[in-house]
Amino acid sequence: MSTCTVFENVRLIDPASGLDKPGRLLVRDGVIVGHDLPDAEGKPKGAEVVDGQGAVLCPGLVDMRVEIGEPGHEYRETVKSASRAAFAGGVTTVAVLPTGSPPIDDPAMVRMLRFRGEEPDYVSILPYGALTKGCQGAELAEIGLLSEAGAVAFTDGNRAIASARQMKLALTYAQAFDALVVQHPEEPTLAGGCATEGELALRLGLPGIPTAAEAIMIARDIRLVEMTGGRLHFGHVSTGEGVELIRQAKARGIRVTCDTAPQYFDLNETAIGDFRTYAKFSPPLRRENDRLAICAALADGTIDAIASDHAPRDPDDKRLPFAQASAGGTGLATLLGVTLTRYHDGTLSLSDALALLTCRPAALLGVSGAAARSGARPIGILAAGAPADLCLFDPDRAWQVIAGELPGHAQNTPFDGRALEGKVMGTWKNGRRVFGGAA
């Protein structure tokens, strides 16, 4: 039986098309039919009506950097628990890193994860393929077969490709499939510490990582892209020197892109406080001048996307001395709220902030509307014919992050106690409500 939903009294924002106006949106059988003016009359007989109370209705968020516990670490998180966290944050699609156990270096694993994401109660999953077999950095994975199975890009996750020769081979080989290579930009021989090298790390007695470790890797890889003509994306950039190199490379027409994560534009190194392991990340939190440089790069468009860098960890992974504790924090449920801090302080317009969370990451992964690969499900847009993956949120509604009360299994948030403005009121996947009650 056909189903219809009309969203009324909403502010429609679609960064992909520049749409930003009050209006109504009609969804039929899980697909967007179109939108019209707020005072338009009539609706299909029997249609469900959602009164948005003036809130923003935008495409469901696309998170391009997520770890989940499956396969191999279900004690940290499952697809089911990650979906609860994602939907509470307005996220309807996640790109999953290939670093589970076993790693995603087999086409069957890619197909299995995509299949899990097609279940109605689960967030849509776009798997990364491992760039090297086992994410070990020694031998290239079967990029062609993995791409054919549905891998959207290739990376070894938080393990940098250390060998320049190996990265050159990867960029050259991936080019044959127009595949995107994603690098963790941290020179590994300099990255043996656990905090940013400097006065704070020295005072706490923690082994430091120089900020130059990021710039050195970015500079090397930009030169390799120039040599090969490949496509390279830098994940979670965190330093002013790093984004400046990317800014200059883009100005020269080199095919490099980058993303960052909320902890790098909302926190600085002082958040580690008195050895607070929930604020331990890879790369580590930076000094204030780097945080400000990341904000500037968001504003001028150097940074292409914001990813949650969601990394669920068990309390036992974190309940260790700082140097031995696992790096990473949860981020799905707080992705929108923390990003909107840059809207509320005037760094970004609301549409630009949403673009970094919807159409721009979708375009990088080849699943945006116009740029969607043949047969791919177009996401990150509010266009007629697109799946009705939707997020309804109030940009001014305040809430507080409390570890232990977040949706999902993992609770290792670095934003515990943080007051945020921007609350998700409802999330829909394929037109079906998956989060929130009455709007």
Contact residues for 417 (Cβ-Cβ < 8 A; gap 6+): 400, 401, 402
Q: How many CB atoms lie within 10 A of CB 23?
A: 21
Alpha helices in 130-280 (DSSP H): 143-149, 164-175, 199-204, 212-228, 240-251, 262-266
- Say which of 266, 309, 389, 416 is annotated catalytic: 309
* Rounded distance between C-alpha atoms, residue 283 and residue 186, angstroms: 7
* Closest alpha carbon to 218 in 251, 175, 185: 185
Classify the C-alpha dihedral 118-119-125-129 as positive or negative. negative
* Closest alpha carbon to 126 in 93, 85, 99: 93
* Rounded distance between C-alpha atoms, residue 118 and residue 110, angstroms: 13
- What residue type is assigned to position 192 of the chain? G
CA distances from 92 to 40, 82, 185, 216 (A): 29, 11, 27, 35
Strand partners, 36: 24
Which H or E run includes 399? strand 390-400
Q: Half-sphere exposure (CA, 13 Å, Cβ side) for 361?
A: 31
To the nearest 10°, report the CA torsion of 332, 333, 338, 339.
Answer: 60
What φ, ψ does residue 387 adopt, rounded to 5°?
-60, 145
* Known catalytic residue at 51: no
Q: Which residues are annotated as catalytic? A: 309
